[in-house]
A = this chain, B = another copy of it.
C-alpha cells in the first residue's frame, strides 16, 4: 500500500472526489494555482481547470457565502480557510446561514459543504496560527465537526465529508501534516512513512463520520483525544505504564457516544483532552455527557487535560501545549483518585 503523509492523503481525497463528481469544486485563499500554503490542493487546478480549483479574494465570510450559494444550487463546494484562526470572519455565515438553511427552508435547500482548515498549534505559529477553535463549532446545531489524526483517516473522512449532505467543518491538525507528534517538542521529527496509518489506499474509501476508534485498548482509564493530541495521548499512555484505553474521536459532532460510554463503563475512569483553552471547550461537553451517562461506573472525577485560558503564546508554546508530561500527570492523578 502506498505511503502518504497527511497532505498527500488529503490531496488524494480531493482528487478522487473531483474526479468522481463534477459538482465538487475547491477554492480558497492561495488554494488555486499555488495549491494552498500547505499544498493540500496542489495540482487540482491544473487537472480540473480554473473553475473547479481556484483562488479567492481574502474574505473568509465571502468564501463561506460563495460556498453557501453554490451548494444551494447543486454544487458540492470544498472551501479552504487558510488557518483556522481566520475562520471567525466566516462564522456568521456558518452559524446563521449554512447550518440553518435546511431547517429554515424545511428541506427545500441543502448545504453539502466542507470547510477545510489547518488547525491547532505546535508549530511556533504564535496566537494567530495556532488556534483550536473547534468548540465554537461543536455548539452550532446542524454542523458536523471532523478532525482526523492520521493520513488514513484524513483521506477517508474527507471523502465521507464531501459525500455527506450536511455542512462539515473539517479541521486538519497541521502539526501532523508531515508526521505524527508525540508531544515532546525536542524529539526527532517523525514521519508518516513509518506509521501504520501512513499506509493509504490510492483509491476511493470512506471512514464513517460518526464513529470513534479505540486506538489503544486498556482497562484502567479511558483517554479521549482528537487531532494532534491522539498521538500525545498514546505516547503518554505508553510511557506512564498505566493501562489506558485511548479513543480517537475523529468526529466531534455528532460524537460517538456509544464507543465512549462503553469504554468508560469498562475502565471507570476518564480523561478528556483538548489543546484549546479549557473553559467551555469541547472536553467540557464530553465530561458533562459522560458523567451523566456513566455516573455509576465512575471511580474518579473526569479530568480535563487542556490548553490554558490564555491566548496561545509564542515563545512559551510548550508551556501552553498539553504535552506528554501533562497527560502522564493526569493519568497518575486519575488513577490515584479514589
Contact = CB atoms under 8 A, between A and B. Distances in A.
A91 B133 CA distance: 12
Contacts of A280: 135, 138-139, 280, 282, 284-285
A18 to B, nearest CB: 30
Contacts of A135: 139, 280
A301 B291 contact: yes
Among A95, A103, A128, A303, the one with the most B-chain Cβ atoms within 10 Å of its Cβ is: A95
Interface stretch (A111-119, A164-172, A304-312): A304-312
Contact of A91 (B91, B141, B279): B91
Contact of A142 (B99, B283, B287, B311): B311
A288 B283 contact: yes
Contacts of A298: 295
Contact of A288 (B89, B91, B127, B284): B284
B141 A310 contact: yes
A163 interface: no
Chain A's interface size range is: 35 or more
A21 B158 CA distance: 55
Interface of A: 61, 85, 88-89, 91-92, 95-96, 99-100, 103-104, 127-128, 133, 135-136, 138-142, 253, 272, 276-277, 279-285, 287-289, 291-293, 295, 298, 300-304, 308-311, 337
Contacts of A133: 95
B282 A253 contact: no
A114 B303 CA distance: 34
Nearest to A308: B141
A311 to B, nearest CB: 5
Contacts of A140: 277
Nearest to A272: B288
Contacts of A311: 99-100, 103-104, 141-142
Contacts of A282: 280
Contact of A279 (B92, B138, B283): B138
A295 B284 contact: no
Contacts of A281: 139, 285
Given A284-B285, A295-B301, A103 B310 contact: yes
A142 to B, nearest CB: 7
